[in-house]
Amino acid sequence: MVKRQWPKPTELAELMRFKKPTLNPTDRRLEKALTIADLRAIAKRRTPKAPFEYTEGAAEGELSLARARQAFEDVEFHPSILRNVPEVDTSREVLGGPSALPFGIAPTGFTRMMQTEGEVAGAGAAGAAGIPFTLSTLGTTSIEDVRAANPTGRNWFQLYVMRKREISYGLVERAASAGFDTLFFTVDTPVAGARLRDKRNGFSIPPQLTPTTVLNALPRPAWWINFLTTPKLEFASLTSTGGSTVAELLDAAMDPTISFDDLDTIRGMWGGKIVVKGVQTLEDAKLLADRGVDGIVLSNHGGRQLDRAPIPFHLLPVVAREVGTDLEVHLDTGIMSGADIVASIALGARFTLIGRAYLYGLMAGGRRGVDKTIEILRNEIVRTMKLLEVATLDELGPQHVTQLARLVPIARPVTDAAEAATASKPKAVRTPRSAPAAKAAASRALAP
């Protein structure tokens, strides 16, 4: 029998240490967010359906985005033991400058649509955290205002080559004058992808007041108050939108005739680092390495352009192996945790970029929400590195990660006559006899 006694007052006092209440409602919401998924849930409650689903959605059946996220879930880590790693260093030299963490903020369009602080919040939070911020051509804050929000940090500019080339050339000159150090030359948007959620929601730039949007606004008054009482929502780099849908805007502005000649022209105008964003094959990565660009971003535009596009995370190991010594290999699409970032670095990425994860934080709490996003990812990176027992990012390698196979190609496409002749010969089919053999076979099947 357990002996019972009256509780002592001193022991009760120890149990009755109440937490000081958080009076600010934004801080109170953000305190409860432990993951990016938590920030997403807050963002969904506070943001009207059309802008939230613009952020959330992708092209057509949204298979590219779902597969990209699944690829990160299908990761097996291999931790070391007894390595004595009390502290870890998350810093990285990237494109000729420092970053306190192995990720930066990706370019996102229409950002003030999600929350009125927009790019100013993102740039300020990035500067405070010591990571780069990337402004989109379709941003809603000017190049100069982003510089003012992040005066001592690293600012990058993402460039679309538009039908009216003089617009793109002018943006390049303004970014250079404002001290942006890197240009992201984007190649995966010759025309707009079919973003069906936007069509179904009647999403336009700027948003239109309709009975549906007014009804949806009733439980979200803060968003509409901010929208109606702050400067007009418009593109900082484009002069007119005319209430267009996103697809109409992109198709009117972008040019499907973009070519390597345009890359050479822009490169001749730009004195800083130049990175090609939207690379989706090993062959194109090799072409760009031969042309001497400073880096590439393996990306399918967050699944928002060509549905069923290649999964960037699956391409990463072979691309990093083949061209990683010639240029920097960066990665985006589907990153939702610090563990995703650690896995990417281990498989050869020099750097990663976050888009939706940043926007969820922005919608959840403006600048403080973006700070929270960075804090969550930083803590997850540090914890994952400590559990793997690596002290620096450079210690991470393929030995720490296995990509588990789901989508295994049935056959590779035939590219030349010799390969066609070889492919026509009958081949014996063997079944791996052990788990290591099966894992090796799956790894070979994933290679392009």
Instruction: Give the 3-state secondary structure of the chain.
Output: CCCCCCCCHHHHHHHCCCCCCCCCHHHHHHHCCCCHHHHHHHHHHHCCHHHHHHHHCCCCCCHHHHHHHHHHHCEEECCCCCCCCCCCECCEEECCEEECCCEEECCCCCHHHHCCCHHHHHHHHHHHHCCCEEEECCCCCCHHHHHHHCCCCCEEEEECCECCHHHHHHHHHHHHHCCCCEEEEECCCCCCCCCHHHHHHCCCECCCCCHHHHHHHCCCHHHHHHHHHCCCCCCCCCCCCCCECHHHHHHHHECCCCCHHHHHHHHHHCCCEEEEEEECCHHHHHHHHHCCCCEEEECCHHHCCCCCCCCHHHHHHHHHHHHCCCCEEEECCCCCCHHHHHHHHHCCCCEEEECHHHHHHHHHHHHHHHHHHHHHHHHHHHHHHHHHCCCEHHHCCHHHEEECCCCCCCCCCCCCHHHHHHHHCCCCCCCCCCHHHHHHHHHHHHCC
pTM, 2 dp: 0.87
Asked whether residue 419 is assigned to any structural domain, the reply reads no
Asked whether residue 364 is assigned to any structural domain, the reply reads yes
Asked whether residue 154 is assigned to any structural domain, the reply reads yes
Asked whether residue 217 is assigned to any structural domain, the reply reads yes
Task: Report residue 139 as tokens.
Answer: 């941003």
Per the structure, how many domains does the chain have?
1
In whole angstroms, what is the distance from residue 11 CA to residue 203 CA? Answer: 59
In whole angstroms, what is the distance from residue 75 CA to residue 71 CA? Answer: 7
Asked whether residue 436 is assigned to any structural domain, the reply reads no
Asked whether residue 246 is assigned to any structural domain, the reply reads yes
Q: Which domain holds residue 282?
A: 29-395
Asked whether residue 225 is assigned to any structural domain, the reply reads yes
Q: What is the CATH number of the domain that holds 130?
A: 3.20.20.70
Catalytic residues: 301
According to the model, what pLDDT value does residue 430 have? 38
Q: From first to last of its 448 residues, what are the pLDDT tens digits of the chain?
A: 888 888 888 878 777 777 788 888 899 899 999 999 999 999 999 999 988 999 999 999 999 999 999 999 999 999 999 999 999 999 999 999 999 999 999 999 989 999 999 999 999 999 999 999 999 999 999 999 999 999 999 999 999 998 889 999 999 999 999 999 999 999 998 888 888 888 888 777 666 667 777 777 778 888 888 888 888 888 887 765 444 666 777 777 788 889 999 999 999 999 999 999 999 999 999 999 999 899 999 999 999 999 999 999 999 999 999 999 999 999 999 999 999 999 999 999 999 999 999 999 999 999 999 999 999 999 999 999 999 999 999 999 999 999 998 877 776 555 555 554 554 444 443 333 344 444 444 443 444 4
According to the model, what pLDDT value does residue 400 have? 97
